Amino acid sequence: MKKTIATLVVACAIAGCSPEPQVQFADGSQTQLSHWDDRWLVINYWAEWCAPCRHEIPELNELHEERVGNGLVVLGVNYDGLAQPKLGEVIDRMDIQFPVLVHDPQVQYGYERPQTLPMTVIINPAREVHDVLMGPQTATSIKAALM
């Protein structure tokens, strides 16, 4: 039996059938990366202590609400790396209505960790960094950066 399992593991590795990575959200849900195939990702870094971040959140909420059917996904990353339950409390206080990632995706997409906040990274449908926007953004400025 052990030999059969080992053979299957090796065969799977050679064939490239490793399980697809899961993306985990602060609300406890998760999805596969392929769920976002052919979509633009807008990844926003924020912190509760960052006044410009707090002013930007309503713009990101608006963009998130408009996103249905337009090929855009708005995601948040807490700069301080908070964990639950503190992360959920801060999300509620800041009225963040878009999904917040549990893990920072910056290594996966190959960009530097933010040195200033807020910072918004735009990932194109080919999963490449399209743009990095420093400072507070509006829904309009983010849409313009997609061009």
Per-domain boundaries in the chain: 21-145
* pLDDT at residue 7 in the model: 37
In the predicted structure, residue 18 carries a pLDDT above the cut 60: no
- Reference 94, options 68, 60, 122, 120; nearest CA is 60
* pLDDT at residue 79 in the model: 97
The pTM of the full predicted model, rounded to 2 decimals, is 0.83
Bigger pLDDT: 147 or 9?
A: 147
Q: In this structure, are residues 9 and 18 in contact, taking their beta carbons and an 8 Å threshold? A: no
pLDDT tens track for 67-111 = 756 789 999 999 999 999 999 999 999 999 999 999 999 988 999
Write out the DSSP string of 43-61. Answer: EEEE-TT-HHHHHHHHHHH
Q: In this structure, are residues 121 and 129 in contact, taking their beta carbons and an 8 Å threshold? A: yes
Of the pLDDT bands very low, low, confident and very high (cuts 50, 70, 90), residue 49 is very high
Tokens, residue 53: 């971040």
In the predicted structure, residue 13 carries a pLDDT above the cut 70: no
Reply yes or no on domain 21-145 having CATH 3.40.30.10.
Answer: yes
